[in-house]
Structure 1
Amino acid sequence: MRCFWPALPGRRRAFVQLPALAGLLFGSVPAAAHVKWFAPYIVGAPPQPIAVTLANPWFWTGIALVLVFFLATRAIEKSPAGETILAGMDRITDPLWQRLDEFVRLVIAAFFVAIFAVGGVYLTPDLKTPAEWVSWAQLLIAALVIPRATRPLAAAGIIGLWLLALRDYDIFHLLDYLALGVGVAAYLVLEASDKPEWRKHRFEVLRWGVAIALMWSSLEKFAYPDWFYPLVVEKPFLTFGLPRDVFIPMAGVAEFTMGFGMIWTPLVRRLSAIALFVIFNAAVYPFGRVDLIGHALIMAIIVAIAADHTREVHFLPALKRRLAGVPTGLAAALLIFATGYWGLHIALYGPEGRVGTPAADIATHSYSPEYPHGPQVPGGIGAPPVRASDAGGHAGHAMPATADAKPALAAYQQVMERMHGPMMQGIAHSDPDAAFVLGMIPHHQGAIDMAEIQLRYGKDAANRKLAQEIIAAQTHEIGEMREWLKQKNLPQPAR
């Protein structure tokens, strides 16, 4: 699963003035890298054609399973048993419902305190910034959430942080952050209002914010499935035993449809929220506290949706009340979001896409055998001195090419030169087992470096897929070999 707010950028200072902010925004060039918690990648790269997804039987299997679930839920909801189930859920969640506004405000404030403590980020740990004042602005936003009169200022700060992030990140990357950011900001404004007609929509805007964010971000699993290969290799338990090419499209379907479910009828949205909460907990826990910070706000909103007692349906109520409205609505949502995602990508980057170069490695986790896809420090343990920035997998510093050689040839030559010395030094170890491992680590690293060059310069689809698989598999094996060296108390090679 992807980090959704984990994927959300965030909120900053309420005191940011828009004219001054506009000057900051247009005074710099946005980077082309989108950063997941596990690795940077390039959003400008051309996505896999939507026709590939539409021809995937596992995509349609996932859609069919979800439709059965939604239709069964709606049939129950329309019967007397439906109200009985909702009433039971109301009784269980009533203590939280009675103080739901306090819960949501507390979580929003706590989230900003947490990312203030992390430091150097915009709205989530995967959106880095060198500006120290941004962290203090986050602390200010947390304080502004508490008094009712200043909550609209906190909302302005959240939108301001998103706008500020445009200085450093491509707008296409930030779109999935926008929906949830707007939802949280709108909640703070509506909750602080003294107009009942406004206040009654405060939880509804949260639902829409998280639903749109999830549906938009889920499309990455269809557009760029190879970006998820390293994660599946590193954490195979996340697939629940399913093959990689079965799990990734079905995970995308689950994310999209559960997001869709949260804007449907009361029982559908509450069960969708519960399912997502279970999925998030299963996906977040293994990655530690920093990953929890990145997911905390969206998880809390999902809890609020599950505890929401309201029965009103304001958007297209007639459609939602009919059983036929479920497949109709889901088909319309898929059409709208897929058209928007692929269409906007073409509008921004052209049919062939565009690959840029990030200014530096940025990711939540730094490199280690446990997180081999984190950014690597040149010259450090396990770190190559140069990386192919726009490889679509790992990111780093662009490799210099000689003036009289083609860039790809120069890059390949550098790989061979870097690999040869450490390999020969490794295989010279007196212990044959250690010699094997110490020789294979730089050999594997050379294969990874060559695969990244292929992704940077190559065009053949089959070769690009093979290169992604090499990166995933051999990075995992390097981690295993480094762990073996650690257990044997043997020195780690530099690369």
Structure 2
Amino acid sequence: MKWFAPYIVDAAPAPIARTLADPWFWTGLVLVLAFFLATRLVERRPAGEQALAAMDRASAPLWNGIDGFLRIVIAGFFVAIFSVGGVYLTPDLATPSEWVSWMQLLIAVGVIWRRTMPLSAAGIIGLWLLALRDYDLFHLLDYLALGVAVAAYLVLAASDRPDWRAKRFAVLRWGVAIALMWSSLEKFAYPEWFHPLVEEKPFLTFGIARDAFIPMAGVAEFTLGFGLLWTPLVRRLSALALLVIFITAVYPFGRIDLIGHALIMAIIVVIFADPGRDLHVLPRLRGALAGVPAGLGAAMVLFVAGYWGLHAGFYGADARTMAELQAERATHSFSAEHPHGPPAMNARPQAGTEAAATGEDLAGAYAASMAGMHEAMMTGIAHPDPDVAFVLGMIPHHQGAIDMALIQLEAGGDAEILDLARHILAEQQREVDQMEDWLRMRGVELPES
């Protein structure tokens, strides 16, 4: 979600009591529990083993070459983000450091040879640690479990010890499951983050009302992530359902979604193809029917306590709400001390915002922002290099849209238009940052703000 919609990480999450009072949350939970329990009942009968055997036959050709498949995807992922440039690991972890991209290419090359796979694993962890220079630790927790899992897989797969190699797929399964369960909590903590995205692409809800779809989607993501850790048939059906969800998301969100989720999708394929039947962790709990609601309930308590507790630990129990923070700075700024994406409103005042805030004529505020835009555009497009002229002209054009969005956030009252303004603010600033990075790499002086 953070790749496509505005967000503020250090805003106070909604009280968990709000989710517990939401009937749609309980509706989703009951439906998923019914699915899990029905699957476990089938799994206890001959039909369950027949279903698993059919999955074994279907996935056997892939499973026989599964390590090669994974290495190709891991290397391809790092080549892809090298080609995109300007990111550490995902689109919302942007970096102006060009050498980071070359490090990603080295990671991809290291995956080719077994002896260099541990070096690539160290590089993956290194990228995550480098991102700590620019991003808060709480923000990066979204990517910790998956990054550690992929790095651990590379180390274990390169090992000469059979007992270590035998655990390489288990670490991937746990990493993806934890990543999905953790990220799903955003739908309960910050449902407002999803509103612009749902309004921009209403077909995502399949005709379900927005306020019903978001909590039910959160339940689905959390419980299917949990299902990856359960018994073989539950695990494989959960993986199949997740794979369908991720594949169908590629069409509306495009290549960024495909690249960003490539590792998760590949690991989900591995989880589905894995013919293993053994339950090494808590076998009695996972084998009992009552273990499904007990295990799911324990997982929810653990993750909710971790998410809300760590957020309070990082930002304080008195952290301000989304509305309070949006009054001070643009979206995508996760920290007052280390803002990224659109600039803080109080750190970079824009034309017209003061007039709007004090109740002066809005038309005058908008006119002031447009006047500055046109003058800077005309100066920029006079550059003799056509590529540079385009960029120097587009930056003030985008800045004009940013200025108007900031005025709207100060003076507007319509919830739909406020969400649209936040979306414009996020997207336009992301493109401004991209164009400014392009100018810096070519030694072209940036236009004055």
Structure-1 separation of matches of 2:344 and 2:38 = 53
**1:124 matched to 2:90:** yes
Deviations 1:426-448 (A, max 9, x none): xxxxxxxxxxxxxxxxxx99995
TM-score norm. by structure 1 comes to 0.72
Question: 1:399 Cα deviation (Å)?
Answer: 3.8
**1:418 matched to 2:365:** yes
Hey, what does 1:96 align to over in structure 2?
62
Deviations 1:397-417 (A, max 9, x none): 3346999xxx99666248823
Hey, what does 2:52 align to over in structure 1?
86
8 Å contact from structure 2 (residues 353, 403) kept in 1? no
Hey, what does 1:397 align to over in structure 2?
343
Q: Which runs of 5+ in 2 are unaligned?
A: 323-327, 335-339, 372-400, 426-449
User: Structure 2: which amino acid aligns with 1:246?
Assistant: A
Structure-2 separation of matches of 1:401 and 1:186 = 41
Match of 1:452 among 382, 386, 409: 409
Hey, what does 1:203 align to over in structure 2?
169
Match of 1:298 among 260, 264, 268: 264
Structure-1 separation of matches of 2:114 and 2:348 = 61
Structure-2 separation of matches of 1:242 and 1:208 = 31
Deviations 1:57-115 (A, max 9, x none): 00000000000000011111111111110000000000000001110111001101111
Question: 1:232 Cα deviation (Å)?
Answer: 0.3
User: Structure 2: which amino acid aligns with 1:314?
Assistant: H
* Structure 1 SS opposite 2:247: helix
Hey, what does 2:417 align to over in structure 1?
470
8 Å contact from structure 1 (residues 115, 135) kept in 2? yes
Q: Which runs of 5+ in 1 are unaligned?
A: 3-35, 357-386, 425-443, 455-462, 479-495
Structure-1 separation of matches of 2:329 and 2:311 = 23
Deviations 1:346-365 (A, max 9, x none): 11111121699xxxxxxxxx
- Count of residues in Structure 1 that have an aligned counterpart in Structure 2: 383
Question: Structure 1 vs Structure 2: percent identity of aligned residues?
Answer: 65
TM-score norm. by structure 2 comes to 0.79
Hey, what does 1:65 align to over in structure 2?
31
User: Structure 1: which amino acid aligns with 2:226?
Assistant: F
Question: 1:451 Cα deviation (Å)?
Answer: 5.5
> Structure 1 201/223 Cα, relative in aligned 2: closer, same or farther at 3 Å?
same
Match of 1:348 among 307, 314, 338: 314
Match of 1:253 among 219, 222, 234: 219
* Structure 1 SS opposite 2:261: helix
8 Å contact from structure 1 (residues 226, 468) kept in 2? no
Hey, what does 1:319 align to over in structure 2?
285
User: Structure 2: which amino acid aligns with 1:412?
Assistant: A
8 Å contact from structure 2 (residues 14, 188) kept in 1? yes
Match of 1:215 among 165, 181, 184: 181
**1:39 matched to 2:5:** yes
Structure-2 separation of matches of 1:95 and 1:274 = 17
Question: 1:291 Cα deviation (Å)?
Answer: 2.2
Structure-2 separation of matches of 1:157 and 1:401 = 35
User: Structure 1: which amino acid aligns with 2:343?
Assistant: H
8 Å contact from structure 1 (residues 118, 125) kept in 2? no
Structure-2 separation of matches of 1:139 and 1:408 = 43
Match of 1:243 among 209, 216, 220: 209
Hey, what does 2:242 align to over in structure 1?
276
RCO comparison, higher one (Cα < 8 Å, 6+): 1
Hey, what does 1:52 align to over in structure 2?
18
Question: 1:224 Cα deviation (Å)?
Answer: 0.4
8 Å contact from structure 2 (residues 5, 423) kept in 1? no
8 Å contact from structure 2 (residues 13, 189) kept in 1? yes
Hey, what does 1:231 align to over in structure 2?
197
**1:166 matched to 2:132:** yes
What is the aligned-residue RMSD (CA, Å)?
Answer: 3.1
Structure-1 separation of matches of 2:280 and 2:361 = 60
Deviations 1:431-479 (A, max 9, x none): xxxxxxxxxxxxx99995356348xxxxxxxx9xx7654323578999x
Hey, what does 1:432 align to over in structure 2?
none
> Structure 1 402/110 Cα, relative in aligned 2: closer, same or farther at 3 Å?
closer
* Structure 2 SS opposite 1:42: coil
8 Å contact from structure 1 (residues 155, 185) kept in 2? yes
**1:266 matched to 2:232:** yes
* Structure 1 SS opposite 2:7: strand
